[in-house]
């Protein structure tokens, strides 16, 4: 069991950057303490100022962002917030590359790409990488340069597979945060992140920090309202009054970033089973819904034997104003899904528990429906839950984040399996 925050023993300093210090934690093997500083910099520290309270602001922002990503399923180095100005992270050997993801062209991209006007939008987001070398102003690198560098960190050689994983992860992280800021009416313009190799698991994880130095954030999509570090970069002269304005911007972000962990959107799945014998099938749907953070209720009703009760149950869930997806679980002749679909404007999906003997015949009662009905059919309980999640994810960024992370993790697992197989073959 990890020691309490007040009892945590701090070891020697293992690294120090412009805005943070990294310390060993002797009592928590494989972990370090990331301690933020009250310092703000720009232009590789060509401009550097002390900003009272920045360490706490940055730590709050980073902790909330990493918590959001971790709960969505993205692999990060973040373990937990330790204090107002520090968090505990898995010890990683850092890969010296900054990955940048852009939705809108601005900043250095315009200087490097003359003729592109500010505001140009990238679909999909634009991915760039920059080698961390202060002496040469962090030059832009290609994938080929990164591969040919033949870096090895934590026992992992950085090759094509690892570069592809970082590129796909960068886009996924950006899209999750972009979606998460939308309910706050804020446009995430671009994002800068770094990866490391976890020294214990030997896997690539999102590491370092993601705070208000890491992105451009425009409320209402309006650059003149920018709340990120660009407001500091743009200062012609750093005065106490100007620094106070920058600090207020950072505080504004820190207050709102905590809202990224919440959603005002409601939703639930109601599984209607035609018989208690279908309970095992329905429990799988409920478990899969829980993984997306979606409440799920199970009910027993037969559209053939008790159609009045089926419609009464339907009306019960229509009447309380909570967005609902109905899942109809009925074997043999599925009247439940079509009857529900014909009598509600809410989404209905069929998920029949087909038997080995008659499944090929029974499934037609779910597939071939009268005109005017629109209930799709999936045979997988997990697929039914995912269908519901995709509906709720349109208005719930937390559910959408889990879906996007699941896509990323599936892609990564396939990529790693292919690499392992090729290594065995060779």
Read off the tokens for 363.
């499934």
Q: For residue range 361-390, list pLDDT tens digits in order.
A: 889 888 888 899 999 999 999 999 999 999
pLDDT given at position 426 = 67
Upstream peptide bond of 124 is cis (omega within 30 degrees of 0): yes
Rounded to two decimals, what is the model's pTM? 0.94
Q: CA nearest 257: which of 60, 30, 15?
A: 60
Q: Looking at beta carbons, which pairs linking 412-417 to residues 24 or more positions away fall under 8 Å?
A: 412/165, 412/168, 412/169, 415/161, 415/164, 415/165, 416/161, 416/165
Q: For residue range 149-171, list pLDDT tens digits in order.
A: 999 999 999 999 999 999 999 99
pLDDT higher than 90, residue 299: yes
Helix (H) or strand (E) holding 178: helix 160-181
Which DSSP letter does residue 3 get? P
Q: Between vectors from CA 170 to CA 144 and to CA 120, what angle results, nearest 5°?
A: 90
Which DSSP letter does residue 184 get? G
Question: What is the number of other CB atoms lying within 10 angstroms of the CB of residue 195?
Answer: 25
When pLDDT is averaged across residues 187-210 and rounded to a whole number, the result is 98
pLDDT confidence bin for 1, thresholds 50/70/90: very low
pLDDT higher than 60, residue 3: no
When pLDDT is averaged across residues 10-19 and rounded to a whole number, the result is 94
Q: Quick one: how many helices (H) and strands (E) in the chain?
A: 13, 20
Residues 196 and 203: beta-carbon distance below 8 Å:
no
Q: CA nearest 326: which of 375, 383, 390?
A: 375
Residues 335 and 306: beta-carbon distance below 8 Å:
no
pLDDT given at position 416 = 97
Which is higher by pLDDT, 126 or 2?
A: 126
pLDDT given at position 45 = 72
């Amino acid at each position: 069991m990890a020691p309490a925050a007040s009892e945590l023993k701090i070891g020697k300093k293992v690294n120090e950057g412009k805005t943070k210090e990294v310390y060993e934690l002797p009592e928590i093997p494989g972990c370090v303490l990331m301690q933020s500083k009250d310092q703000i910099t720009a232009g590789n520290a060509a401009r550097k100022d002390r900003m009272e309270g920045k360490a706490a602001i940055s730590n709050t922002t980073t902790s909330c962002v990493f918590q959001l990503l971790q709960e969505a399923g993205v692999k990060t180095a973040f373990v937990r917030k330790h204090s107002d100005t520090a968090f505990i992270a898995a010890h990683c050997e850092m890969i010296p590359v900054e990955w940048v993801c852009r939705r809108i062209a601005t900043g250095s991209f315009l200087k490097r790409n003359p003729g592109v006007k500010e505001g140009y939008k990238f679909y999909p987001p634009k991915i760039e990488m920059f080698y961390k070398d202060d002496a040469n102003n962090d030059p832009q690198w290609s994938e080929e340069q990164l591969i040919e560098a033949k870096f090895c960190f934590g026992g992992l050689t950085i090759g094509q597979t690892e570069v592809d994983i970082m590129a796909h992860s960068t886009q996924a992280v950006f899209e999750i945060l972009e979606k998460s800021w939308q309910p706050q009416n804020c446009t995430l313009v671009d994002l800068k992140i770094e990866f490391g190799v976890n020294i214990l698991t030997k896997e690539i994880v999102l590491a370092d920090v993601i705070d208000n130095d890491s992105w451009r954030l425009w409320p209402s999509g309006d650059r003149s309202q920018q709340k990120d570090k660009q407001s500091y970069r743009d200062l012609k002269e750093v005065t106490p009054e100007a620094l106070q304005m920058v600090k207020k911007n950072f505080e504004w972000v820190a207050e709102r970033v905590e809202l990224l962990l919440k959603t005002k959107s409601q939703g639930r799945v109601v599984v209607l089973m035609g018989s208690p014998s279908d309970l095992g099938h329905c429990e799988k749907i409920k478990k899969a819904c829980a993984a997306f953070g979606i409440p799920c209720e199970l009910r027993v009703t037969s559209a053939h034997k008790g159609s009045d009760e089926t419609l009464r149950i339907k009306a019960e869930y229509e009447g309380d104003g909570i967005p609902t997806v109905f899942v109809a679980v009925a074997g043999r002749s599925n009247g439940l899904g079509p009857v529900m679909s014909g009598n509600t404007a809410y989404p209905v999906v069929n998920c029949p528990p087909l038997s080995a003997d008659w499944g090929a015949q029974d499934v037609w009662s779910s597939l071939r429906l009268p005109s005017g009905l629109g209930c799709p059919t999936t045979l997988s309980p997990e697929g039914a839950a995912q269908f519901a999640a995709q509906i709720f994810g349109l208005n719930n960024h937390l559910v959408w984040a889990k879906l996007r992370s699941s896509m990323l993790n599936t892609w990564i697992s396939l990529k790693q399996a292919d690499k392992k197989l090729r290594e065995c073959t060779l």
